[in-house]
Amino acid sequence: MPTKQIQCADFEEEKAAVESSGRYRVLRQARVAGQAGVCTLHYEPRGDLKPRPVRRLRGIAGAQGRVEMSRSRRVARRLFELQTPASKDAPRRIAERWLKRLAPLLGIGADLADLKFDQVRHSVLGRHVLFQQHVGRTQISGAWVRVDLDEDGRVYNLQNDLVPLQVLAPRRAGATRASRLHGDEGRALTRDQAKARALAAIAPARGLKKQVIGTPELLYRPTDGDPRLTWKVVVKSGPPSREWKMYFDAFSGALLWRRNLLKRASGRALVFDPNPVVALNTAELSNRRAVPATAYREVELRGLDGSGFLDGDFVSTRLTKRRVRRANGDFRFRRGERGFTEAMVYFHIDRLQRHLQALGFDNVLHRGIAVDVAGQREDNSYYSPTDRQLSFGTGGVDDAEDAETILHEYGHAIQDAQLPGFGESDECAAMGEGFGDFLAASYFADWKPAWLRPAICSWDCIAFAGDPPCLRRLDSNKKYPKDITGEVHDDGEIWSACLWELRHELGRANAEKLVIAHHHLLNRWAGFEDAANAMLTADRRLFGGRHRELITAVFVKRGILPDPRRPGRRAGDRFEG
pLDDT per position as a tens digit, 504-534: 999 999 999 999 999 999 999 999 999 999 9
Q: Identify the DSSP state of 564.
A: T
Using a 10 angstrom Cβ sphere, with 0-12 exposed, 13-18 middle and 19 or more buried, the burial of residue 294 is: exposed
Q: What pLDDT does 561 receive?
A: 95
Q: Secondary structure of 304-358 in the HEC alphabet? A: ECCCCCCEECCEECCCCCCCCCCCCCCCCCCCCCCCHHHHHHHHHHHHHHHHHHH
| Cβ(517)–Cβ(538) below 8 Å | yes
**CATH label, 265-557, candidates 1.10.390.10, 3.90.1170.10, 3.90.180.10, 1.10.274.10:** 1.10.390.10
CA distance 140 to 147: 18
In order of 12, 24, 87, 354, 359, the CA distances from 302 in angstroms are 48, 47, 41, 10, 19
- β-pairing, 3-7 vs 38-45, is antiparallel
Instruction: Give this prediction's pTM.
Output: 0.82
| Cβ(405)–Cβ(269) below 8 Å | yes
For the domain spanning 191-259, the CATH number is 3.10.450
**CATH label, 54-179, candidates 3.40.630, 3.30.70, 3.60.70, 3.30.310:** 3.30.310
Residues of the chain with CATH 1.10.390.10: 265-557
Residues of the chain with CATH 3.30.310: 54-179
Which residues touch 537 (CB under 8 Å, ≥6 apart)?
A: 80, 81, 156, 157, 518, 521
Q: What pLDDT does 36 receive?
A: 72
CA distance 406 to 198: 31
Q: What pLDDT does 327 receive?
A: 81
Which residues touch 273 (CB under 8 Å, ≥6 apart)?
A: 279, 297, 299, 403
Residue 75's closest CA among 194, 136, 179, 161? 161
Residue type, 433: E
Strand partners, 264: 382
Q: What pLDDT does 544 receive?
A: 96
Phi then psi for residue 121, to 5 deg, are -100, 145
Using a 10 angstrom Cβ sphere, with 0-12 exposed, 13-18 middle and 19 or more buried, the burial of residue 112 is: middle
Length of the chain: 577
CA distance 503 to 303: 30
Residues of the chain with CATH 3.10.450: 191-259
pLDDT tens, position by position, for the chain (577 residues)? 688 888 787 787 678 778 766 678 888 899 888 777 778 888 887 765 566 788 999 888 889 999 999 877 789 999 999 999 999 999 999 999 999 999 999 999 999 999 999 999 999 999 999 999 998 788 888 899 999 999 999 999 999 999 998 887 766 655 344 455 555 455 678 999 999 999 999 888 778 899 999 999 988 887 655 678 899 999 998 877 788 999 998 888 989 888 888 765 534 324 478 877 778 888 887 777 788 888 888 888 888 888 889 988 899 999 999 999 988 888 889 888 888 999 999 999 999 999 999 999 988 998 889 999 998 888 789 999 999 999 998 877 788 888 999 999 999 999 999 999 898 899 999 999 999 999 999 999 998 999 989 998 787 777 776 788 888 999 999 999 999 998 999 999 999 999 999 999 999 999 999 999 999 999 999 999 999 999 999 999 999 999 999 999 999 999 999 988 887 788 877 655 4
